[in-house]
Structure 1
Amino acid sequence: MFEKAQGEKVTLPCTFVLSEEDEGPLDIEWVLIPADNQKKEQIIIMYAVDRIYNHYYAAMTGRMQFTNPDPRSGDGSLDILNLKSADTGTYQCKVKKAPGVQSQKIQLTVLVKPARTKCSIEGSQEIGNDIILKCASQEGSPLLSYDWRRVAGTQELPATSVLNKNTGELLLKNASQDYSGTYSCVASNRVGTDECFVELNVTPPINTAGIIAGAIVGTLLGLFLLAFLVFCCCKKHREKKYEKEVHHDIREDVPPPKSRSSTARSYIGSNRSSLGSMSPSNMEGYTKTPYSQVPSEDFERTTGQNPNFAPSKGKKLFEAVCPLGNSEYSVMR
């Protein structure tokens, strides 16, 4: 049984000794036996009638050859170059020279080295916390094993650490600042190794109370600022609305009505001026008309029928304009 790493070279041995009784032609044949017994054997390379035939198996074209260019010397070993994981399987060498026949089976396992190994940290890197260092390879044949160590100093892991070689996890319990430093993880299997590094920095706990208080204060300030902006916007909106209402309510000024007393005064003044201008010399054109006195009951009845007429004020006004007495003249309005 052979175990090789992917990309390497392997030589599968096949030596033989011919007998004097063997008189027929020499045939050397290499075949790949499938894992499924229902399938036929696959010829890889063959030597017959002093010629080499290596075009039977396309998956290995250009990657296989006889170790000895002249297999008749008793060495029919096979070289396989640049191994791949798909090359894993059972190979058989057959040597024929009539009447003798010899065969030999060889198990080949192609393993993949660990590769693309990554290191990471899980958990808060604060004093007193449990921290997990993780290590995992993206490639590699099983069984993979992981090992952690510190790069600087004694390279010894902390006393509280717990290592799981199968999963690659390193648990650091109740971490302290002394745990800070560079750690290395080595992933390995039977054919190779791969390594990654991670930097651990254990720090004092963060003052969460101060952060929370700051967040609360900041939130309150933000709410206050928002409320102030809303208040300013509402105030501005009300001012604009009030200006529009005042603008629409402006009307043309109307002069106030004259009072009845001022009207009466003007009327009295005008009549006095007209009466005062009458003299014996300029009254000749006027005709004397006897004055008919209105019965008091008729006057009272007439004024009573008009609710808007004030008898006392009207009488005074009439007497002021035209005093009756014994005058023979009357002024008709």
Structure 2
Amino acid sequence: MESPPLLRLLWTLLLLRADLSEGVTITSTDQTMITKAQGERVTLPCVFTLSQQDEGQLDIEWIILQPNDEQTVIMYHRDKVYDEYKTAGRVAFVNPNPASGDATIDILNLKPTDAGTYQCKVRNPPSVQTQRIQLTVLVKPTKTKCYVEGSQEIGTDVTLKCNSEEGSPIISYYWKKATGTEELPATSISNTGTGDLLMKNASQIYSGIYKCTSSNRVGTDECSLELNVTPPVNKAGRIAGAIIGTLLGLLLLAFFIFCCFKKQREKKYEKEVHHDIREDVPPPKSRASTARSYIGSNRSSLGSMSPSNMDGYAKTQYNKVPSEEFERAPVQTPNFQPPKVAAPNLSRMGAIPVMIPAQSKDGSIV
């Protein structure tokens, strides 16, 4: 006799309930992907139920799956927790007694290397259940800098730059004016991907403070700058000033070189003149002493003569003292010689013989 369809359906449900009641069942399957920022804390859920038929030892293990390997994060075995693994000191069970049905863990102070696929494995022989969660660790935008590229003159195209040195992609950049109407100029073009803000044909009303905000999925950062659009500068005057300055510098350099060359020539001339004087000019003291010796000898000779013998010398004035010119210059009448007197006559007149030193042609004493 064939059973009615209703009885068969009830029997199937009873068998399915019996199968579900046997072994471990993980119930926290809502979150499979979690994204957090660097330095934050993340909670990875793993809630389960046990069957009355399971009488084995309960084991709980969290592992991180790598492309070619897997590493244990934390483990509960034989009523004891083991957490001295990759994230030592930063991971712990939320429930001090995971055997009660809650194997959820917390990971503190997240790092980019903590990103990966985490698996919770609950084993109560003969039953084993697993659950996987994908964790993404992003870095907030930091060290964001704003600056102006190009000239800030009226009529030119001005570009405002914004860039974050650190931060996980994708980073978006947004510009806004922080003063005045707080609206960007009508001619501005913003690129959220590169952080550039181009303002064509700038005018003075574009001047003000601009702020840039960089953001990704986990955080934001800001920077600001002041734009000052000024009238154009006289470029011709600048160029002329530069040329004049260059010419003045060259002239000063040429004058310095000329002075050095002139001074060097003067030193060389002084050395040559000094060398000629030392070799060619006789010492002046020799001439003066020679002239004095000659005059003294003549006076001695005249003093030894008698009045009768001095008639020939009446016209010659020997009583005058020689001048300085006579001392400096040699005697111009070297041919003059006094009259000779015999030696016996000189002795009778009381004359004293005097030795006259010999002289060379130039007046030097030999």
TM-score, L = length of structure 1: 0.69
- Give a deviation string over 1:14-38, Cα, whole Å, max 9, x none: 11111121122211111111123xx
Identify the residue that residue 139 of structure 1 maps to in structure 2.
166
Aligned residues between the structures: 259
Q: CA RMSD in A?
A: 3.0
TM-superposed CA distance for 1:227, in Å, is 4.1
Looking at structure 2, the residues matched to 233 and 100 of structure 1 have their Cα atoms a distance apart, in angstroms, of 103
Looking at structure 2, the residues matched to 206 and 222 of structure 1 have their Cα atoms a distance apart, in angstroms, of 25
Identify the residue that residue 53 of structure 1 maps to in structure 2.
82
The 5 A counterparts of 1:197-208 are 197-208=224-235
Identify the residue that residue 27 of structure 1 maps to in structure 2.
59
Looking at structure 2, the residues matched to 71 and 242 of structure 1 have their Cα atoms a distance apart, in angstroms, of 108
TM-superposed CA distance for 1:135, in Å, is 1.0
- Residue type of the partner of 1:54? D
Looking at structure 2, the residues matched to 31 and 218 of structure 1 have their Cα atoms a distance apart, in angstroms, of 74
* Partner SS, residue 232 of structure 2: coil
2:214 is equivalent to residue 187 of structure 1: yes
The 5 A counterparts of 1:91-240 are 91-232=118-259
Identify the residue that residue 80 of structure 1 maps to in structure 2.
107
Identify the residue that residue 66 of structure 1 maps to in structure 2.
93
* Partner SS, residue 213 of structure 1: helix
TM-superposed CA distance for 1:6, in Å, is 0.9
- Residue type of the partner of 1:127? I
TM-superposed CA distance for 1:224, in Å, is 3.7
Q: Unpaired segments of 5 or more residues in structure 1?
A: 256-265, 267-333
The 5 A counterparts of 1:267-282 are none
- Are 1:89 and 1:109, in contact at CA under 8 Å, matched by a contact in 2? yes
Cα gap change, 1:223 to 1:24, in 2 (>3 Å): closer
* Partner SS, residue 113 of structure 2: helix
* Partner SS, residue 143 of structure 2: strand
Mean Cα displacement is larger for which, 86-95 or 44-53? Answer: 44-53
Looking at structure 1, the residues matched to 176 and 230 of structure 2 have their Cα atoms a distance apart, in angstroms, of 21
Cα gap change, 1:201 to 1:243, in 2 (>3 Å): same
Looking at structure 1, the residues matched to 266 and 80 of structure 2 have their Cα atoms a distance apart, in angstroms, of 109
Mean Cα displacement is larger for which, 27-36 or 157-166? Answer: 27-36
Identify the residue that residue 2 of structure 1 maps to in structure 2.
34
TM-superposed CA distance for 1:218, in Å, is 2.8
- Are 1:114 and 1:188, in contact at CA under 8 Å, matched by a contact in 2? yes
Identify the residue that residue 49 of structure 2 maps to in structure 1.
17
Q: Unpaired segments of 5 or more residues in structure 2?
A: 1-32, 283-328, 330-334, 336-366
Looking at structure 2, the residues matched to 211 and 195 of structure 1 have their Cα atoms a distance apart, in angstroms, of 38
Looking at structure 1, the residues matched to 37 and 203 of structure 2 have their Cα atoms a distance apart, in angstroms, of 42
Looking at structure 2, the residues matched to 16 and 95 of structure 1 have their Cα atoms a distance apart, in angstroms, of 8
TM-superposed CA distance for 1:2, in Å, is 0.4
- Are 1:35 and 1:89, in contact at CA under 8 Å, matched by a contact in 2? no
Identify the residue that residue 321 of structure 1 maps to in structure 2.
none
- Are 2:214 and 2:221, in contact at CA under 8 Å, matched by a contact in 1? yes
Looking at structure 1, the residues matched to 186 and 39 of structure 2 have their Cα atoms a distance apart, in angstroms, of 41
Cα gap change, 1:149 to 1:245, in 2 (>3 Å): same
- Give a deviation string over 1:90-127, Cα, whole Å, max 9, x none: 11111112222221111111111111111121101111
- Give a deviation string over 1:160-192, Cα, whole Å, max 9, x none: 111111111111211111111111111100000
* Partner SS, residue 60 of structure 1: coil
Looking at structure 2, the residues matched to 192 and 67 of structure 1 have their Cα atoms a distance apart, in angstroms, of 26
Cα gap change, 1:21 to 1:202, in 2 (>3 Å): same
Looking at structure 1, the residues matched to 217 and 148 of structure 2 have their Cα atoms a distance apart, in angstroms, of 27
Mean Cα displacement is larger for which, 166-175 or 187-196? Answer: 166-175
- Residue type of the partner of 1:30? W
Cα gap change, 1:197 to 1:239, in 2 (>3 Å): same
The 5 A counterparts of 1:32-43 are 32-36=64-68, 39=69, 41-43=70-72
- Residue type of the partner of 1:46? M
- Are 2:180 and 2:208, in contact at CA under 8 Å, matched by a contact in 1? no
Identical pairs, percent: 64
Cα gap change, 1:244 to 1:165, in 2 (>3 Å): same
Looking at structure 1, the residues matched to 82 and 258 of structure 2 have their Cα atoms a distance apart, in angstroms, of 95
TM-superposed CA distance for 1:222, in Å, is 3.5
- Residue type of the partner of 2:243? I
Looking at structure 1, the residues matched to 259 and 176 of structure 2 have their Cα atoms a distance apart, in angstroms, of 65
* Partner SS, residue 222 of structure 2: strand
- Residue type of the partner of 1:22? D
- Residue type of the partner of 1:45? I
